[in-house]
């Protein structure tokens, strides 16, 4: 598999297969884990941060293996679904950071190129999410809108 904006190839190779059974050493029941995940998500964390907190704090290797549901589905069933998907939110945050940098350093041409590549990545990802009904049909990327979405 190759990278999007470069001629280089990416990482490839085999990975250790992920266990699909709940480990014996996990003592928490799925309902307790779901309640903790909802509580953390209501506190302002995204699904990835909730999963990392549960992994580090409660010793849950994978919410999906223990509860039988993915984190986003678990949160959306309880009514705590985030407005934007995690990867799109992270890209918007990076774009806002780059825009602020370029406001201070307008001659930084390599970062101007990086900004345009990142914006095209956002548009491509938004097209995918609109097609799969995870974003509203009228959602469009604008640089001013990105600042409002992040803050």
38 within 8 A of 46, measured Cβ to Cβ: no
CA nearest 37: which of 25, 51, 26?
51
Structure tokens that stand for 21 in this block: 């059974």
Task: Return the residue matching tokens 């909730």.
Answer: 50
Selected residue with higher pLDDT from 13 and 88? 88
Phi, psi of 2 (to 5 degrees): -110, 170
CA distance 25 to 96: 43
Sequence-distant (≥ 6) Cβ neighbours of residue 86 within 8 angstroms: 46, 47, 48
Share of the chain above pLDDT 90, in %: 54
120-144 per-position pLDDT tens digit = 999 999 999 999 999 999 999 998 8
Question: Beta-carbon neighbour count of residue 32 at 10 Å?
Answer: 14
Task: Return the residue matching tokens 């190129």.
Answer: 113
Computed over every residue of the chain, the mean pLDDT equals 89
Tell me: pLDDT of 6 over 80: no
26-69 per-position pLDDT tens digit = 888 889 999 999 999 999 888 889 999 999 998 888 899 999 99
pTM of the model: 0.78
CA distance 52 to 62: 9
46 within 8 A of 83, measured Cβ to Cβ: no
Three-state secondary structure along 19-50?
CCCCCCCCCCCHHHHHHHHHHHHHCCCCHHHH
Selected residue with higher pLDDT from 119 and 149? 119
CA distance 141 to 128: 13
């Amino acid at each position: 598999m190759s990278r999007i904006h470069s001629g280089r190839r990416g990482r490839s190779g085999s990975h250790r297969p992920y266990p699909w059974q709940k480990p014996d050493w996990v003592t928490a029941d799925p309902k307790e884990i779901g309640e903790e995940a909802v509580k953390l998500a209501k506190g302002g964390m995204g699904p990835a941060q909730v999963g990392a907190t549960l992994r580090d704090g409660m010793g849950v290797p994978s919410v999906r293996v223990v509860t039988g549901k993915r984190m986003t589905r678990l949160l959306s069933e309880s009514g705590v679904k985030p407005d934007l998907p995690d990867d799109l939110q992270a890209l918007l945050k990076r774009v806002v950071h780059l825009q602020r940098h370029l406001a201070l350093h307008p001659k930084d041409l390599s970062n101007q190129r990086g900004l345009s590549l990142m914006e095209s990545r956002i548009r491509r990802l938004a097209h995918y999410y609109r097609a799969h009904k995870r974003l509203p049909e009228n959602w469009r990327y604008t640089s001013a809108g990105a600042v409002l979405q992040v803050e």
